[in-house]
Amino acid sequence: MAGDVQTEPRPRPRILSSGGQRHMVMNALSVLILVVGLASFVLGLLVRNTHAGPALHVTATATGLFSVLVGLYLQMVSATREQRVLIVTGMIAGFVGLAIGLSKGGFLG
């Protein structure tokens, strides 16, 4: 047929896998560190601004410590820049939650 336009299939956009390969586990772990770090940050703010119980202090401290330690390891093995951005953001938020949790009692409540 005259006038047919041949188009190639458009590649799906890869948000966290800009290196050309798919890194599903690393992408999931990067998002996990971001979510846990932000949760620790929010819990730390709750600990700081309210008269929270010891369970909230321990939770803010534990989630912050998890996000910082696991984030440091993931930072070393990450494959793309986008993963590193999410990991560092989660680590910073987790560190703030960890610091506030420790200042209010830490693991002792």
Give a yes or no: residue 92 inside a domain.
Answer: yes
Give a yes or no: residue 6 inside a domain.
Answer: no
Total of domains in the chain: 1
Give a yes or no: residue 16 inside a domain.
Answer: no
Identify the CA nearest to 84 among candidates 30, 45, 20, 4. 30
When pLDDT is cut at 50, 70 and 90, the band that residue 102 belongs to is very high
Give a yes or no: residue 68 inside a domain.
Answer: yes
Q: Which pLDDT tens digit goes with each residue over 42-68? A: 999 999 999 888 999 999 999 999 999
Give a yes or no: residue 101 inside a domain.
Answer: yes
Give pTM, 2 decimals.
Answer: 0.82
Higher-scoring residue by pLDDT: 12, 46: 46
Give a yes or no: residue 80 inside a domain.
Answer: yes
Give a yes or no: residue 19 inside a domain.
Answer: no
Identify the CA nearest to 63 among candidates 97, 27, 106. 97
Q: Which domain holds residue 104?
A: 55-109
